[in-house]
Amino acid sequence: MTLDTSVMNVSIKSVANDLGTTVTGIQTAITLYTLVMAAFMITGGKVGALLGRRRAFGLGLVVYGCGSLVTAASPNLTVLLVGWSGLEGLGAALIMPAIVALVAANFPSERRSAAYGLIAAAGAIGVAAGPLIGGAVTTFASWRWVFVGEVVIVFVILIFLRRLHDIRAEPISFDFVGAGLSIAGLFLTVLGVLRVGVWGLVRAKPGAPSLAGVSIVIWLILAGLLLIGALFLWEGRVEARGGEPMFRPSLFRSVRLTGGLVAFFFQFMVQSGLFFTVPLFLSVVLELSALQTGLRILPLSVTLLLAALLVPRLAPQASPRLVVRVGLLAILAGTMVLVAGLDPGANAGIVLIPMALVGAGIGALASQLGAITVSGAPDSQSAEVGGLQNTFTNFGASLGTAVVGAVLIAGLTSGLMHGVSNNPAIPSSVTATATVQLEGGVPFVSDSQLRSKLASTDLPPATDEAIVAENASARLYGLRSALWVVVLMVVAALFFTGLLPRQSLVASRKRP
């Protein structure tokens, strides 16, 4: 599943061209994929408790495999949204909480930490290998073969499924109200953020829906946040009455657990924003192939793996709070270097140092956060903690992609409209038409794609080149704006690191 997401990020341009859609369309697919996982993760955990963890895991695999098959055969964006964002997201929401519980059922307590560490390492390997594997398959064959390969992997796992020791189904009542509130609240919040660039945040763009004189985006976000607040109140009431809530609000009394979840949220918010932005620069602005894009991101993969593996081994007694802060500062430094390097003459080499720094930072976070979160609650609640962790990470990923994508398109649109309006080489008649047509949003396209579209018009060559130049400048402005948002996310994350434990987890386990 981790490989899946990183493959889609590095192949954005190829997938968009193949399906006849835009970068914004693929951004929607990526966001909805993580959003469906986030919205249904807690519900998927409870379904696993009702059906039995192994059965839920197997059902999730079947749904996920069907989604991969539909995705591989997608003729357009709509089918991709059904297969990838919908079916694969629902399958993942059943699989991921079940994995946490199945580890507890298949490993004795003294080996569980190592088992959870292997799962985290598998995720890191997926992030690291995804750009290279996806780039190679997309360049030499088609991105569709990645999803065909996933179907094969699903069959292999299903063959060995019976070797897993199961956790039997529990006779619990299902909290339908809590499930509805969690799904609706998370979905409306992210949907509102996702549509900011298309519909407008406060003032509705031409043709966009509005309510009471303002963009419907504000109402979607407010409704989502109110439903999330209502979810916590409802679950607290259910728990107080001795019922079976979707999650126990009392878990958040653990500062360690809360700090770990918040840190996970920001990590994936920042990570998804960068993984969306950097491949766009490489594949659209510089027009590199998917394989070349994957190779340029390789430094991130290498340093991520090294940090995730070496930090616990070389500094087992290190303060988790300090390690996370150093990791966030490395991500901040890498992002700032990248912003400084984005200029009209920039080449692919400018991402080398930033990607290495960002990878080291993400690896440092990965080496600590899983253990912090798991240690924040008793082993008996590990499945519930796993569901919350996956909800926070996927909610962060969906929000990160939505926010960064919205800022990117907004920056591109405003930059292009300003450039076209003030360029004397572009006639006023063209400027007036472009202003009306572009107000709803500008597609993120390469120079060659734009020249191809302009070739079908009657504009003089000098005007065509002036428009291409303004679009190139606006693209960089949009990318810088998006990366500055990532910088703000990292700074916000640093403010919450005080919730993380100062003492090393190894030392606290040894303490009587």
* pLDDT tens, residue by residue, 257-290: 999 999 999 999 999 889 888 888 888 888 888 7
Q: Are 253 and 381 in contact (CB under 8 A)?
A: no
Virtual CA dihedral for 107, 113, 114, 117, nearest 10 degrees?
Answer: 120
Q: Are 3 and 130 in contact (CB under 8 A)?
A: yes
Whether the predicted pLDDT of 512 surpasses 50: no
Burial class (CB in 10 A: 0-12, 13-18, 19+), 42: buried
Q: Are 407 and 476 in contact (CB under 8 A)?
A: no
pLDDT tens digit string along 404-426?
A: 888 888 888 888 877 877 778 77
What pLDDT score does 223 carry? 93
Joined tokens for residue 18: 């193949």
Amino acid (one-letter) located at 473: S
Q: Nearest-CA neighbor of 221 among 249, 199, 245?
A: 199
Q: How far apart are CA 74 and CA 144, in angstroms?
A: 9
What pLDDT score does 20 carry? 87
**Which of the four pLDDT bands, split at 50, 70 and 90, describes residue 511?**
very low
Q: Nearest-CA neighbor of 441 among 85, 80, 19, 23?
A: 23
**Which of the four pLDDT bands, split at 50, 70 and 90, describes residue 330?**
very high
* Average pLDDT of the residues in 169-173: 70
**Which of the four pLDDT bands, split at 50, 70 and 90, describes residue 222?**
very high
> Which residues are CB-contacts of 481 (< 8 A; sequence separation ≥ 6)?
407, 408, 410, 411
What percent of the chain is predicted at pLDDT more than 70?
Answer: 92
Residue appearing with tokens 């953020």: 193
Least confident of 201-205, 220-224, 339-343: 201-205
Calculate the average pLDDT of the chain: 84
Question: What does pTM read for this prediction?
Answer: 0.84
Q: Are 26 and 15 in contact (CB under 8 A)?
A: yes
User: H-helix or E-strand containing 171?
Assistant: none
* Average pLDDT of the residues in 168-194: 82
351 vs 167, more confident? 351
User: H-helix or E-strand containing 429?
Assistant: helix 428-438
SS3 state at 403? helix
Burial class (CB in 10 A: 0-12, 13-18, 19+), 199: buried
Q: How far apart are CA 480 and CA 186, in angstroms?
A: 28
What pLDDT score does 436 carry? 54
Whether the predicted pLDDT of 196 surpasses 70: yes
Q: Give the number of other CB atoms < 10 A from CB of residue 228.
A: 17
**Which of the four pLDDT bands, split at 50, 70 and 90, describes residue 32?**
confident
Joined tokens for residue 492: 């916000």
What pLDDT score does 486 carry? 95
Q: Nearest-CA neighbor of 34 among 190, 179, 210?
A: 190
259 vs 104, more confident? 259
123 vs 210, more confident? 210
The answer to whether domain 2-174+244-412+478-505 has CATH 3.30.420.40 is no
Least confident of 80-89, 109-118, 131-140: 109-118
Cα of 228 vs its chain's centroid, Å: 20
For the chain, how far is it from start to end, CA to CA, in angstroms?
39
**Which of the four pLDDT bands, split at 50, 70 and 90, describes residue 75?**
very high
Residue appearing with tokens 């660039």: 197
What pLDDT score does 49 carry? 78
**Which of the four pLDDT bands, split at 50, 70 and 90, describes residue 312?**
confident
Q: How far apart are CA 119 and CA 260, in angstroms?
A: 17
User: H-helix or E-strand containing 137?
Assistant: helix 109-140
pLDDT tens digit string along 108-127?
A: 777 766 676 677 667 767 77
* Average pLDDT of the residues in 371-383: 74
Q: Nearest-CA neighbor of 115 among 126, 107, 124, 105?
A: 107
Q: How far apart are CA 243 and CA 241, in angstroms?
A: 6
